[in-house]
Chain A
Amino acid sequence: MKINSLPFINLRRKPIRTSALIVIALVMSAAAFGGQILIKSLQRGLDSLEQRLGADIIVLPEGAEKKVDLQNLLLQGTPGYFYMDKSVTDKLTGINGIEKLSAQYFLVSANAECCTVQVQIIGFDEESDFTVKPWLKEVYDGRLQKNEIIVGAGLSTRVGHTLSLYGVECRAVGKLEKTGTGLDTAVYATNETVKGLINASAKQGIAVLSKQSPENVVSSVYIKADKGADIDELTSKINRALDGAQAVRTRSMMTDTAKRLNVLSKSITALTAAVWVLAAVIMLTAFYNSANERKREFAVLRTIGFSRNSLSRIVLLESVITAGAGALAGVILTGLLCFEFISAIGKKTAMPLLMPSAGVTIVYGAAVIGIVLLAGAAASALSAYRLTHIDTGKILREGC
């Protein structure tokens, strides 16, 4: 028998108390780790969106927000479409302060046509695009040909396979990394391909355009302002110059989403704090009660020759073992749940959720385990003090 095994023996012989303490630590770590992962996923999702948007101003048809939720469409990839006259692009070319501009086409796959969910089809111009290509390049460095597509991570279509859209077989040449948003179920193609799909939809009797030809329309124009240009002023200038279209500053969309994320982050932090306060009170009570029950046991240990330090070590080791086991289980369980359900949560809450990288997740997990261990040690410190400063003589004399 070794003295260091005493805390383990004590814990094993009190399975209910030990399990309860482990569960408390598990709840604490799950709340802290889950909360942190959720907050970081929101931040990462937002960063990813910002990176992908890449434009300062977006020009859309007037009233487009009445047809679809612009923010959801542009930031989250929630399926939707709208069109405006192509002449908008020509008008924009004459406005000073614009460095780059590129038109895009939006289309939505027919219901239950190819996939279990509606797919957002985004068409971009191979020549002028500066918003989509930079990150598409990560998975496909070539030039997209007609009826070639790059698919989001959420679609089951594999590279080299085809996806049928309005009866047109489109070949996937690349697959994107996960973004945690509806863009994971989007398909990217050239404007030519999308125009072809719009025509194909008309042939199938699903007319997305009533009278116009797809050659004469665009869905949106992405604008990169000149360096040093006042973007608000440029937005106003564009709005004054255009008829039937509106310019929206992208940061205003992001700010709105960022505000929502900020509120959510604060709510998660508050909830985590509440769980911690409750768990800490329960843990303190458990250790306090345990200290009362164990006075005689510790008095006997003093008669055997245990010093105050060695008794403190027993109490602290017991708390570290229970807190450590609970924290580890909490982190692993929450990590698995997050990994499995974070995309679903993102879709359900319309929030851009993107899990932090494995390295960052491990660092957070380790930090949470460390904090729970400290909390457990702190909660047991009072008990350790009480048990190591018991009046051995009095307890032995009075038998209590």
Chain B
Amino acid sequence: MIITAKSISVTFYKKKHAVKAFEKVSISFEKGELTLITGRSGSGKTTLINALAGFIPANEGQILYDGQDISRLDDKALSGLRCKSIGFIPQGQSALANLTVLQNILLPSALAGQSNIAYAEQLLAAVGLERLANAYPDELSGGELRRLAAARALINSPSVIFADEPTNDLDEENSAIVLNILKEQAQSGAAVIIVTHDSAAFKYADRIFHMDGGRLIGNDNEYENTLCRPLVS
């Protein structure tokens, strides 16, 4: 799946004051690529991937999935797209407290009308949580919860994966586990987009963009990716 953002802008209103999260961002994501978006806190990174995943409507511009404008999709169609084609790892703790680790991972698969237990167990093993399959999230550490979120995002083998600070609060070993899994997904053909300020992630990236004050440096239209490569090296 190819995602193309064409000159998208998002503006929030806080107490009637307009706050521009980012402006006129144009970017494309290809299959098999791991893209990093870096930047300081408040630079608009999270808002950008939330907009790309359709959680925040863009005030202007278009977001196209394989040429289809997601702003034209109704809730059911957009939810279906998220369920089957998008894996999303939100920032912070996102495990569902009422479900066990295994149930958390199986939930997207159940929503898609499948029950991929064998693959769920493979993912559990890949993120090192196989012994905690029947544990509840309140029994897990922060690192384990992040790995759980990563495994859940991958259960339906999505073609696009968004990860918002997936290595936040993780030690080096746990960070490497999560980033390796995401890299493997990219190598298997998924478009992986990671928002992070963790420099350890740079070596996994095929492309790196930087956000600053609501502008995407390395913006495809303006810079034709020329600014990306130096950041990787």
Contact = CB atoms under 8 A, between A and B. Distances in A.
Determine if chain A interacts with chain B: yes
Interface of A: 1-3, 6, 9-10, 12-14, 296-297, 299-310, 391-394, 396-397, 399
Given A9-B98, A393-B56, A304 B103 contact: no
Interface in B196-227: none
A301 B82 CA distance: 11
Given A1-B106, A393-B56, A397-B47, 15 more contacts: A1-B107, A13-B98, A14-B98, A300-B90, A301-B96, A303-B53, A303-B90, A305-B79, A305-B84, A305-B111, A309-B75, A392-B55, A393-B55, A396-B50, A396-B164
Q: Which 6 A-B pairs have the closest CB atoms?
A: A305-B83, A393-B56, A307-B79, A13-B98, A393-B55, A393-B50
B38 interface: no
Interface in B37-77: 46-47, 50-51, 53, 55-56, 75-76
A397 B97 contact: no
A393 B97 contact: no
B50 A1 contact: no
Contacts of B86: 305
A14 B81 CA distance: 31
A399 B90 CA distance: 9
A251 B152 CA distance: 76
A303 B75 contact: no
Contacts of B107: 1, 6, 304
Given A297-B96, A393-B51, A397-B46, A303 B88 contact: yes
A13 B97 CA distance: 9
Contacts of B79: 302, 305-308, 310
B47 A307 contact: no
A3 B82 CA distance: 16
Contact of A304 (B55, B56, B108): B108
A309 to B, nearest CB: 7
A308 B75 contact: yes
A6 B97 CA distance: 12
Most chain B beta carbons < 10 A, residue from A3, A305, A393, A394: A305
28 contacts: A1-B106, A1-B115, A2-B110, A10-B98, A13-B97, A296-B94, A297-B96, A300-B96, A302-B79, A303-B53, A303-B55, A303-B82, A303-B88, A303-B94, A305-B79, A305-B82, A305-B83, A305-B111, A306-B111, A307-B79, A307-B80, A393-B55, A396-B46, A396-B55, A397-B46, A397-B50, A397-B91, A399-B92
Contacts of B91: 396-397, 399
Contacts of B82: 302-305
A14 B152 CA distance: 23
A399 B55 CA distance: 14
B196 to A, nearest CB: 15
B152 to A, nearest CB: 7
Contacts of B84: 305
Nearest to B120: A1
Given A13-B98, A307-B76, A399-B91, A3 B55 contact: no
A394 B14 CA distance: 12
Contacts of B96: 297, 300-301
A391 B82 CA distance: 16
Contacts of B164: 396
A10 B103 CA distance: 12
B99 interface: yes
A397 B14 CA distance: 14
Contacts of A310: 79, 111
Contacts of B88: 303-304
A128 to B, nearest CB: 76
Contacts of A1: 103, 106-107, 110, 115
A302 to B, nearest CB: 7
Contacts of A394: 56
Given A3-B111, A304-B107, A393-B55, A309 B97 contact: no
Nearest to A12: B98
Contact of A305 (B56, B103, B108): B108
Nearest to A302: B55
A7 to B, nearest CB: 10
B97 A9 contact: no
B193 to A, nearest CB: 14
B55 A309 contact: no
Contacts of A297: 96-97
Contacts of A308: 75, 79
Contacts of B106: 1
Given A304-B107, A397-B47, A399-B92, A9 B55 contact: no
Contacts of B75: 307-309
Contacts of A13: 97-98
B111 A304 contact: yes
A13 B107 CA distance: 16
Contacts of A391: 56
A392 B88 CA distance: 12
Contacts of B53: 303
Nearest to A11: B98
A392 B54 CA distance: 10
A299 B75 CA distance: 14
B140 to A, nearest CB: 15
Most chain B beta carbons < 10 A, residue from A14, A301, A396: A396
